[in-house]
Every structure is written in C-alpha cells, then in structure tokens.
C-alpha cells in the first residue's frame, strides 16, 4: 500500500505543477530534493512571483524511522517505528479575488520492533480560503468535493465537510480560516471498508482537486483590483498564518519529527499584515466574508 500511494503522489505532483505552470504563464516551480537524517526525504516544488501565483508549494515527502518520544505520547504508544508519506500544497494567488487553496493527502504506517504493521491509516482533504466571497465559487468547489465523496459513500461529504469546518477553526479568533471543503483523518480498515477502499476514496478526492480549483482561478485571475483590496487580502493572510502556526497538526508533526523546515513553512504567504484591532466597515464585501467565516454555510 505504501509503495502504491507513493507512486500516486509522485504522479499527482507532476500533474498539478505542470497545470499550474500553464495557468501562470510566466513562473516555473523550483525543485528541491531533500533527505532526512533519520530516514526518508522528499521533493519540494515552490513557485514564486508569478503572474498568477505570488507564492505556492506542491510538496511530497516519504519519511520513516523511530517515532519521536513526543509523538509516541501523542499516539499513546511506546518504542514504535513509522512511515509517513503525502502530498501537501498551498497556493497564494496575487489577485485578491482569487482564493488561497490548501490540500493534503497522506498515508501513515506504524510498526512494532519486529517490523510488523500495528496501525495504518489515510488522511487528508482540501479547503478554500477566499478574501472576497463569490458564492458560485464556493458552491463549485464544494460540489466537486461532494461528487468525489458520493462516488464512495453518501455520508462522506456531510461528515468530512463538518470535520473540515471544525478543524480549520481559528479558536482564538472565533472564526473559520476559510469556507471549508473536506477534512478526514485516521481512515482505517473496518468490517465495511478495506484499506483499498480508502485508497480509492482518497485518490478520487486528489484526482478532483484541479477540477475544483482551476475554474475558479481562470474566472477571477484577470479581475482588476485596488490597493484597498490588496490590503484586505494581506490582513486575512495574517489569520492564515496564525492558524498554521498555532493550530495545524501537520505543522506540529513536521516540527516534532525533524522535518525540513523550508518545506513545512512553505505554506506561509510572502506579504502579510497585522493591523491593530482592525474591523471592516459594516455592509461591505469584507464584512460579508467575515459573517460567513463566523457562521459556516452549506454550499453543496
């Protein structure tokens, strides 16, 4: 299973980065191959200062070795080894009317000291973070998510949509990071679902990512915008940074397992503002966005 999923994320990384370069038209992804001293490594690809994408990363990693003590406590195990692989991407477009997007699809195995698998699971999801709310964009993104889910189980979309709203919640701000999507974790073998079933589901979601995001980019990337629009985008990016550094489990796992710091923090946008006690004027498009972030909606 791990070999099959590694092959999948390598191919998906190629497909996504090639498509994004075609959309941008000017910038190209810089590739870094890296190795982790304790075992494994990855392939980081970053795009910067493009016509469409101000900064973005599409990274894959395959890491293994002894599970650090802090993570053993987190999982409630002792003397365990692990293997983890996944694709993680974040794209920060230049135009404030094009939303930021994040996605991650991952697979994890844990072993006892004889090398036998004692646990394994899939996780991942994708979510959209607009700076200005176009409801048809939110509906499109969620409809693609729902289609992928419905192909496997009708309960998946409402369940993983709710988990996404709960997970990407900036509790210290009492608001969502964005307008959600899907979030799932610890997808394990059960009487009803095999690991192959979960592989088929996770890869279906991954295969649908470009269909969910690219039409939105194409529709909004050439809209004209003002300095005020850009200021709001940078203020909202500050909330994105806060979530990733305060709440995100993936960031925590990478830091606790001696991951590559440049790859872990590639999700942070290049230009951000933190203004003291900033509030948008009532009745504005900016205020409309905040209302939805404080009260997540059903989009599909």
Exactly one of 102, 140, 142, 229 is catalytic; name it: 102
**Catalytic residue at 92?**
no
Whole-number pLDDT of residue 191 = 94
- Within 8 A by CB and 6+ apart from 98, the residues are 52, 216, 217, 220, 221
- pLDDT, position 79: 79
CA distance 43 to 6: 12
The predicted pLDDT at position 78 comes to: 80
- For residue 100, what are the contacts with CB-CB under 8 A and spacing of at least 6? 90, 91, 92, 93, 128, 129, 130, 131, 178, 237, 240, 269
State the pLDDT confidence band at 28, using cuts at 50, 70 and 90.
very high
DSSP assignment of 85-98: EEEEEEEEESSTTS
| DSSP state for residue 44 in the 8-state scheme | E
pTM: 0.95
Q: pLDDT value at position 264?
A: 85
User: What is the chain's percent helix, strand, coil content, to nearest 5?
Assistant: 45, 25, 30
Q: Give me the pLDDT at residue 241, please.
A: 95
Identify the burial level of 281 via C-beta atoms within 10 angstroms of its C-beta, where 0-12 means exposed, 13-18 middle and 19 or more buried.
exposed
pLDDT for 44: 95
pLDDT digits (tens, 9 = 90+) for 221-261: 999 999 999 999 999 999 999 999 999 988 887 888 777 88
Q: What is the pLDDT of residue 158?
A: 98
Structural domain boundaries in the chain: 2-294
Using 50, 70 and 90 to split pLDDT, how confident is the model at 114? Answer: confident
Given this model, what pLDDT does residue 7 score? Answer: 98
Q: Which CATH number fits domain 2-294: 2.40.50.140, 3.40.50.720, 3.40.1500.10, 3.40.50.300?
A: 3.40.1500.10
Query: What is the overall mean pLDDT for the chain?
Result: 95
């Amino acid at each position: 299973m791990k070999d099959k999923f590694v092959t999948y994320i390598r191919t998906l990384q190629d497909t996504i980065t090639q498509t994004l370069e075609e959309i941008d038209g000017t910038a190209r992804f810089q590739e870094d191959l890296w190795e982790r001293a304790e075992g494994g490594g990855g392939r980081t690809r970053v795009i910067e200062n493009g016509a469409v994408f101000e900064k973005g990363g599409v990274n894959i990693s395959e890491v293994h070795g002894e599970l650090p003590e802090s993570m053993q406590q987190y999982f409630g195990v002792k003397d365990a080894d692990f293997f983890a692989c996944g694709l993680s991407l974040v794209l920060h477009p230049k135009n404030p009317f094009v939303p930021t997007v994040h996605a991650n699809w991952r697979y994890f195995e844990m072993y006892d000291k004889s090398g036998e698998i004692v646990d394994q699971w899939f996780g991942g999801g994708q979510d959209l973070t607009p700076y200005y709310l176009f409801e048809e964009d939110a509906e499109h993104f969620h409809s693609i998510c729902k289609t992928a889910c419905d192909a496997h189980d009708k309960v998946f979309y409402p369940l993983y949509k709710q988990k996404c709203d709960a997970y990407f919640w900036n509790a210290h701000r009492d608001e969502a990071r964005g307008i959600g999507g899907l979030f799932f974790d610890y997808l394990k073998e059960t009487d009803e679902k095999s690991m192959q079933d979960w592989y088929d589901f996770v890869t279906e979601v991954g295969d649908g990512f470009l269909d969910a995001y690219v039409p939105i980019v194409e529709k909004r990337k050439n809209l004209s915008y003002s300095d005020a629009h850009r200021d709001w985008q940078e203020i909202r990016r500050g909330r994105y940074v806060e979530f990733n550094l305060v709440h995100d489990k993936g960031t925590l796992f990478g830091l606790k397992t001696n991951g590559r710091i440049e790859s872990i923090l590639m999700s942070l946008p290049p230009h951000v503002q933190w203004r003291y006690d900033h509030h948008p004027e009532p009745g504005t498009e900016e205020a409309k966005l905040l209302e939805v972030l404080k009260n997540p909606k059903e989009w599909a």
